[in-house]
Structure 1
Amino acid sequence: MRIAFTSYEYPGETGGGGIGTYLQIVSKLLHEQGHSVVVFTATSEKSPFWENGWVYRIPATNWQSFNDLLPSYFLPIHCSKPFDVLEATDFQACGLSIKKALPFLPLVVRLHTPLYMVDRLMYKPLPWRSKLRFAFGALRKVQLPSFPSGPNRADYKREFDIINAAEVVSSPSQSIADEMMRLGFPLNGKTEFVPLPFESEIASRSIMNHQALSNSPLIVFIGRMEIRKGVIELAKSVPSILKKYPKARFVFVGASSLSPRSGVDMISYLQEMLKRYITSITFTNRVGREEVF
């Protein structure tokens, strides 16, 4: 089968977040199984180039420009040797431009977490005191107060459009599919649950080295340090774990992001939150995937 993937993000030049890591692993596994795979991703270079046998980088500065420019690079390759299926991302509707240009090319949309959901999770309504200050400030200027509102679904129309256009939606879990349906994404009747891929050699090595829980367990968080990843919930469990296992160690691996406190990054926020236990905790910030394993 000949399979195309589209994503501005891909490890190396344009980042290695969850979308890029997934694509790096799944494209490699499919390639090793004999499928013809092409990952269309971005570069800051002025000309497109093949990074290896299946990764093709095109000039783009962000997700939007990548999606807009994608057809002009995708279509010639498709015309010379047609793809059987396209997998695009829900995030930023990356690949929607291809479906519009080639409506009969089967489209699978992989759920990673659409921007609409991310923005809703990160949105914090103004506290009532702030609303009062906001209102008084407007009234002093003889204006009616207009309070900041949360994410507006209409601003994320493209993400809803790509789900509508998909023949199949691929979800890594039931929970993300349920949450997206709650937000109004039309997933009913076309959702397949496909767990995240992993490299069995690395996983089996880790399993072989696994030992029974000792009196000094090592607990590791790997991922971007942001609210929706559950890092605060893990941090809240630190005192009770240390009470039972005083020699336990915690390592938080990942780049810092926004915290619940305005102007404070997540690592600083957690360091303050856990200052009584800081001798048992290490924050590495972002490290390369190879260093993690």
Structure 2
Amino acid sequence: MKIAFISYEYPPDTACGGIATYVRQAVSMLSNKGHYIEVFSGSFNENKIQKDNQVIIHRIKASKRQEFTKQVGTIFAQRYQQIKFDVLEAPEIGAEAAEAIKLVPEIPLVVKLHTPSYVLQELFYTPPSFQMKLRRYFGALRRGNIPKPFHNYSYNPDNDLERIYTLKADEITAPSLAIANKLNIDWQVDKQKVIHLPNPYIPSQKLLDIPIKTQTNIITFIGRLEIRKGILDLAKAIPLILNKEPKTKFRFVGSSLPSPNPKLDMHQYLEKKLKLFLPSLEFIGNLPLEKIPSILAETDICVFPSIWENFPYVCLEAMSAGRGIVGSSAGGMAELLDGGKVGKLVPPKSPKSIAKAVIELLQNPEERMKLGEAARQRVLSQYNLERIGALQEASYLRAIEKRQALGARNIAELPQPIYIQT
């Protein structure tokens, strides 16, 4: 098949998060299976065309996703006239392929669910406190303005253009049952229209070579230091853990985002909150992917207490390294950890549960190592290229068959391109 991907995120230029990791892994998998692949992606620096092995990458200069979404449709349509792609895959976030299917209405479209914008908005929304309302009210009066009423966050799926665009796809695929079930409720999408298709994952040999048996007493958090990742709950659990296991060390690997205190980033905020425990803490900052195996090799337990995740690659990396894992039961992480069979699951926003699970693994190293070995084997058996590759090929063929039966889309029924700032 001749397969096109539209994705603002693609390494190394726009390796922004999990979408970039997924597309890179999927492209490698499908190219190795003999398919012809082209990627239409973003770049912070320049417009260019690259070739990575047999894969052609069209880089579109865009500092933000919304700029990319405005431009990519025309570029894809021009290339389609030359190549005649069999199928196009794109993410739901930002509706990046909305213009492409408008300009090429006959193209079969597969939309891969990552995490829709409304889910992120829900997670980041914090209701204003009474004190905040008072400050804004009297601040407006001092400036001679009429205070505006506060509006709580509300969501109407009928006005969500990402939803409208996604429903125009010939196949909708979900890497986790969690995101499929959430959209079944929030977007009123028939479960039969969403296909559960886990993402492929190719662990590096460096991860697989890490010994299962370690005894470092190091607990590692890998990910952006932000509220959504459960970092504040981990911070509250640290004193509880150190009370029982005072020799424990905590490492934080990831870039620091805003904190509840507007004057401090999350790194500074955590240091202030945990000032009595600073000798037990280490903040490393953001690291390139190739440095992660060395961090995991020195780690006994990884903690990922996210409020919500769809298909977290950081968990798969820790599983491949055979680490003990304490992960959130909310979202797709519970599926990766096989319902708690290969790692400890804790409810989100529960520092006491985090502390209890970590202490149990610290005090029972044999259990930790047994879970680590089982986690590594699960990665190799469930997310390998052969298994996921066959499922993905079948998904594309269903989309092609459906679009051939329906014919070209009615352009008048298509949503306008969606330029969401993310």
Shorter-normalised TM-score: what interval? 0.7 to 0.9
SS in 1 for 2:246: coil
1:67 corresponds to which residue?
A: 69
Question: Per-residue CA shift, 1:45-74, capped at 9, x if unaligned?
Answer: 554322533322123332122112112211
C-alpha deviation, 1:213, in angstroms: 5.8
Q: Is the 8 A contact 2:94 2:117 kept in 1?
A: yes
Alignment of 1:238-257 (within 5 A): 238-257=238-257
In the other structure, the counterpart of 2:275 is 275
Q: Distance in 2 between matches of 1:156 and 1:256?
A: 33
Alignment of 1:47-196 (within 5 A): 47-52=47-52, 53-136=55-138, 141=144, 143=146, 145-150=148-153, 153=156, 157-184=160-187, 186=189, 188-196=191-199
Number of equivalences: 290
Residues 74 and 100 in structure 2, CA contact (< 8 A), matched pair in contact too: no
Partner residue of 1:263?
A: 263
Match of residue 211 from structure 2: 210
TM-score of the pair, normalised by structure 2: 0.62
Deviation at 1:145, TM superposition (A): 3.1
Once superposed, which parts of structure 1, at least 4 consecutive aligned residues long, lie more than 4 Å away?
136-142, 151-156
Provide the identity percentage.
35
Q: CA 1:5/1:126 → structure 2, altered by over 3 Å: closer, same or farther?
A: same
Residue 76 of structure 1, CA deviation: 2.4
Partner of 1:36: 36
Distance of 2:117 and 2:260 partners within structure 1: 19
Partner in structure 2 of residue 20 of structure 1: 20
Partner of 2:221 in structure 1? 221
Q: TM-score of the superposition, structure 1-length normalised?
A: 0.86
> How many Å separate the matches in 2 of 1:284 and 1:153?
40
> What one-letter code is carried by the residue in structure 2 that aligns with 1:160?
R
- Return the offset for 1:179: 3.2
One-letter amino acid matched to 2:207: S
Shift of 1:122: 0.9
Change (3 A) 1:139 1:181: farther
| TM-aligned CA deviation for residue 261 of structure 1 | 2.8
The SS at the match of 1:225 is coil
Q: Is the 8 A contact 1:111 1:172 kept in 2?
A: yes
Q: Please report how far the alpha carbon of residue 129 of structure 1 lies from its aligned counterpart in structure 2 after TM superposition.
A: 2.6
Could you say what the CA RMSD is over the residues aligned between the two structures, in angstroms? 2.7
Higher relative contact order (CA 8 A, sep 6+): 2
